[in-house]
Structure 1
Amino acid sequence: MTYFTGLDLHKRSVTATTLDAEGAVVATAKVPCRAPALRAYFAQIPGDHAATVECTTGWYWVKDAISSEVHLHLAHAKGVKAIAAAKVKTDAADAKMLAHLLRTDLLPEAHMISDEMRPLRDVLRTRLRLVERRVAAQNSIARLLEKHNVRDVADLDALGQLQAQCHIEQAESLHAQIKRLEKALHPHLVPDDDVQRLLRVPGIGKAGAFTVRLEVDDIARFPTERQFFSYCRLVPGADNSGERARHKRSRDGNRYLKLAFSHAAVRALQYYPEVRAWYGTKKRKKPEAVARALVAKEMARIVYHVLRKQEDFNGRFKGRPLSRAKKEQWPLLPSPASITGAGEGPVLRPPSAGMGGE
Structure 2
Amino acid sequence: MRLFIGLDVSLAKTAICVVSEHGKIVKEAQIASAPEALVRWIREQDGTIAAIGLEAGPLSQWLHRGMTEADLDVVLMETRQVKGALKAMPIKTDRRDAEGIARLLHLGWFRPVHCKSVSSQEVRAVLGARKAIQQGMIALEMSLRGMLRNFGLKVGAISRGRFDLRIRELAFGNPMLEAATEPMLRARASLRHELAGLERHVRNLAQDDPVCRRLMSMPGIGAVVALTYRSAIDDPARFTSSKKVGPWVGLTPSRNQSGERDVSGGITKAGDVNLRRALCQAATVMMHRGRSTWLRTWAAQVARRRGRKRAMVALARRAGVILHRMWVDDTDFQSDMTVPLAA
TM-score by length of 2: 0.81
Structure 1 range deviating more: 5-14 or 240-249? 240-249
Residue 247 of structure 2 is matched in structure 1 by 230
Q: Structure 2 CA distance, aligned partners of 1:170 and 1:189?
A: 29
C-alpha distance in structure 2 between counterparts of 1:257 and 1:38, whole Å: 32
C-alpha change, 1:240 and 1:167, in structure 2 (3 Å) is farther
User: Counterpart of 2:38?
Assistant: 38
1:353 corresponds in structure 2 to none
Q: Describe how 1:63-212 pairs up with structure 2 within 5 A.
A: 63-69=64-70, 70-84=72-86, 85-147=88-150, 148-151=152-155, 152-153=166-167, 154-156=169-171, 157-182=174-199, 189-212=206-229
Contact 2:75–2:112 (CA<8 Å) still a contact in 1? yes
**Counterpart amino acid of residue 12 in structure 1:** A
> Any conservation in 1 of the 2:256–2:264 contact (CA below 8 Å)?
yes
Deviations 1:92-151 (A, max 9, x none): 332222223223432222221123322222222222222222222233334445542444
Please tell me the residue identity of whatever aligns with 1:273.
Answer: S
| CA shift digits 1:284-341 (9 cap, x unpaired) | 3333322322332332232122123222212246638xxxxxxxxxxxxxxxxxxxxx
CA distance 1:47–1:183, change in 2 (3 Å): farther
Q: Structure 2: how far apart are the matches of 1:162 and 1:281?
A: 54
Partner of 2:264: 246
Q: Kindly tell me: are residues 262 and 24 of structure 1, through their superposed partners in 2, closer, same or farther at Cα, counting changes over 3 Å?
A: same
> Does structure 1 conserve the Cα–Cα contact (< 8 Å) formed by 2:242 and 2:322?
no
Which amino acid in 2 is paired with 1:313?
F
| CA deviation after TM superposition for structure 1 residue 182, in Å | 4.7
In 2, the alpha carbon distance for the partners of 1:265 and 1:256 equals 14
* Separation (CA, whole Å) in 1 of partners of 2:132 and 2:323: 25
**Aligned residue pairs: how many?**
320
Mark the runs of 5 or more structure 1 residues left unpaired by the alignment.
321-358
Deviation at 1:46, TM superposition (A): 5.4
- Structure 2 equivalent of residue 258 of structure 1: 276
Letter in 1 for 2:118: D
Q: Note the alpha carbon deviations across 1:136-168, whole angstroms, 9 max, x for none.
A: 223333444554244432122333344433333
Asked whether the equivalents of residues 255 and 264 of structure 2 are also in contact (C-alpha less than 8 Å), the reply is yes
1:62 correspondence with 2:63 = yes
Q: Indicate the residue corresponding to 2:158 in structure 1.
A: none
Identity across matched positions, percent: 22
Relative distance call for 1:149 and 1:302 in structure 2 (3 A) is: same
Instruction: Describe the shift of the 1:63–1:185 C-alpha distance in structure 2 as closer, same or farther (beyond 3 A).
Output: farther
Q: 1:92 to 1:214 in 2, by over 3 A?
A: same
Q: 1:26 — aligned with what? A: 26
AA in 2 matched with 1:40: R
Summarize the Cα distance change of 1:226–1:166 in structure 2 as closer, same or farther, 3 Å threshold.
farther
Q: Mind listing any 5+ residue stretches in structure 2 that lack a counterpart?
A: 156-165
CA contact (8 A) 1:270 1:276 kept: no
**d(CA) in 2 for partners of 1:177, 1:271:** 28
Query: Which amino acid in the other structure matches residue 114 of structure 1?
Result: S
Residues 279 and 116 of structure 1, relative CA distance in 2, 3 Å threshold: closer
> 2:6 matched to which residue of 1?
6
Distance (Å, rounded) in 2 between the aligned partners of 1:102 and 1:184: 42
SS state of the match for residue 285, structure 1?
Answer: helix
- Helix, strand or coil at the partner of 2:305: coil
AA of the residue aligned to 2:125: D
Contact 2:251 2:267 in 1 (8 A): no
The structure that is helix-richer by fraction is 2
Q: Is the 8 A contact 2:61 2:115 kept in 1?
A: no
1:226, distance to aligned residue in structure 2 (A):
4.0
Contact map agreement 1:5 1:19 (CA 8 A) in 2: yes
List per-residue Cα deviations over 1:189-239 (Å, max 9, x = no partner): 533221121111110011111111001112233333443112323233223
User: Do the aligned partners of 1:202 and 1:299 also contact (CA within 8 Å) in 2?
Assistant: no
Letter in 1 for 2:270: D
CA RMSD of aligned residues (A): 2.9
Amino acid at match of 2:265: H
**CA shift at 1:36, angstroms?**
4.2
Instruction: Work out the CA distance in 2 between the residues paired with 1:140 and 1:22.
Output: 60
> Could you tell me which residue of structure 1 aligns to residue 289 of structure 2?
270
Q: 1:281 aligns with which of 301, 309, 333?
A: 301
Separation in 2 of the partners of 1:249 and 1:297? Answer: 11
d(CA) in 2 for partners of 1:185, 1:72: 33
Tell me how far apart the structure 2 counterparts of residues 251 and 202 of structure 1 sit (CA, whole Å): 24
